[in-house]
Structure 1
Amino acid sequence: MMHLTVLGGCGAWPVPDQPCSGYLVESEGFRLLVDPGYATFPALQEYATAEQIDAVLVTHGHPDHCADLNPLLRARALTDEPPAPLPVHALPGALDAVLALDRPGMLRDAFTLREFRGGDRFEIGPFRVDTRLLPHFVPNAGLRLTAGGTSLAYTGDTGPSPELTALAREADLLLSEATYVDQVPRADAEFLLSARSAGEYAEAAGAARLLLTHLWPGTDPSAALGAAARAFAGPIEVARRGLVAQTPAAVSPSSDGLHD
């Protein structure tokens, strides 16, 4: 079984009640932090301390997906009894900017960088991680996490690609970026998705459930839900801070449920 807690799901920059992309994924007591974007570290501390995170996995190097790696590492490095180095998994060069924010060597002992390439398969604790390179403004790895016979597919940020269908094939949950509602502006069309297209990919892949994330700040969640529902017949929800879901399908009462 996997347990997913949404720390935030806002695209581009955080708003008062919604950090940027960040997800705590747990299985067998192992805590994996996926995409620690802007303002996710304060939200994370409602569920776990910095020392209790077992590994970090980052899809790409945009700051709304990785900026809060810095305070997480500071909190581990600057404590009186620093924990063991934190395994941090990312594409080559994706974290160069965020890891350079402090003076050279300050965080050196706080983490171990483990770079992977799109298409790689590897293990993180109880999770098998399958990756696919997906189109974005910078290199972006779509992720499929499998543990205990259940699967979570996550797009990171991506434009249209047949790889998305393969990534999400019969996944228990597809966590898909949906920056726009119905139509992506021409300038972004190769690199971002709409809620409608996220629904189309979920339907084509036979995913059990769809969780929309990375909505542009100010987007009406009900509009995104409606657009996705025109393409996907299964349960759909919008990622928001505090939503908790499990695979196989179960949602905590605090999340208000996944809506058909």
Structure 2
Amino acid sequence: MHLTVLGGCGAWPTAEQACSGYLVEHAGFRLLLDPGYATLPRLLRHTTVDAIDAVLVSHGHPDHCADLNPLLRARGLSDTPPPALPVYAPHGAVDAVLALDRPGMLAGAYRRHEFRPGDRFALGPFMADTWLLPHFVPNAGIRLTTPEGVLAYTGDTGPSPDIVRLARDADLLLSEATYVHRVPTADAPYLLTARLAGHYAERAGAARLLLTHLWPGTDPAAATEAAAEAYGHPIGVAAPDLVVHVTGPG
């Protein structure tokens, strides 16, 4: 399994960084995970829109799904539209994005598959397990399993014991880390720090940790250092075009 980072900026994109977006590839299948703001131009550096086999959305905030709209436009309005794109998302999570165009305009460009966080389902060559993790809106933590490796992704979340279950013995934990050391009090139930991400990675026995969804302007080195206070294995920060091979020790 290969993970290519399209963006890892929280809340809004910057000149250097798109919001959350990841291309996950295995056995020739290309899964777009969380097409947030400004991820489509990054995606086009690596592949074409018609090469995407499915989209998986963790939750309905636009920094995780807004670029589903231009992706569907690029497919549905082309001279030779590809088959309808399977879009997996929690119930109602992509309603606002799909309502941006006139009714029916892109109806043939996608096929919706709604799920409840907690569901387990096959998605191409992946087995997807999901957990309901605390956020301002319903958010699915996602665990993608293949015979070669396991990727655990928190989406956006606050503190929860289910993060340990999500990431248990994962080859890579891709974890939200909006803040470095402290989340503002009002947001503390719904977001993590880099240090907490390290804490959960350590408790879960994850082999590697990749921090993402950093607040714009956050120093990646500071986030890495904070995570390392609790986690003693390799730590990275999601950066555009970073490629990670997600495989087990064998």
**Fold similarity call, TM over 0.5:** yes
Amino acid in the other structure paired with 1:224: A
* CA distance in 1 between partners of 2:146 and 2:106 (Å): 31
Q: Matches of residues 65-104 of structure 1 in structure 2 within 5 Å? A: 65-104=64-103
1:62 aligns with 2:43: no
Q: CA deviation at 1:148?
A: 2.3
Q: Quick check: 232-241 or 144-153, which moved more?
A: 144-153
Unaligned runs of 5+ in 2: none
* CA distance in 1 between partners of 2:139 and 2:151 (Å): 17
Asked if structure 1 preserves the Cα contact closer than 8 Å seen for 2:148 and 2:248, the reply is no
* 1:113-149 Cα deviation digits (max 9, x unpaired): 0000011000111000000000000000000000123
Asked if structure 1 preserves the Cα contact closer than 8 Å seen for 2:31 and 2:55, the reply is yes
Q: Percent identity?
A: 70
Aligned residues: 249
* 1:140-196 Cα deviation digits (max 9, x unpaired): 000000012310000000000000000000000000000000111101100000000
TM, length-normalised to structure 1 = 0.95
The list of structure 1 runs, each at least 4 consecutive aligned residues, that deviate by more than 4 angstroms after superposition, is: none
TM, length-normalised to structure 2 = 0.99
Unaligned runs of 5+ in 1: 251-260
* CA distance in 1 between partners of 2:84 and 2:147 (Å): 26
Partner of 2:169: 170
Amino acid in the other structure paired with 1:63: P
Partner of 1:5: 4
Q: CA deviation at 1:249?
A: 6.5
Partner of 2:31: 32
1:182 aligns with 2:181: yes
* CA distance in 1 between partners of 2:27 and 2:248 (Å): 17
* CA distance in 1 between partners of 2:99 and 2:169 (Å): 39
1:233 aligns with 2:205: no
Aligned partner of residue 108 in structure 2, secondary structure:
helix
* 1:34-87 Cα deviation digits (max 9, x unpaired): 000000000000111110000000000000000000000000001111111000
User: RMSD between aligned alpha carbons?
Assistant: 0.9
* CA distance in 2 between partners of 1:17 and 1:105 (Å): 35
Q: Matches of residues 81-160 of structure 1 in structure 2 within 5 Å? A: 81-160=80-159
Q: Matches of residues 242-257 of structure 1 in structure 2 within 5 Å? A: 242-248=241-247
Aligned partner of residue 129 in structure 2, secondary structure:
strand
* CA distance in 2 between partners of 1:79 and 1:247 (Å): 34
Partner of 2:43: 44
Aligned partner of residue 128 in structure 2, secondary structure:
strand
* CA distance in 1 between partners of 2:211 and 2:113 (Å): 28
* CA distance in 2 between partners of 1:175 and 1:249 (Å): 15
Aligned partner of residue 208 in structure 1, secondary structure:
coil
Amino acid in the other structure paired with 1:18: Q
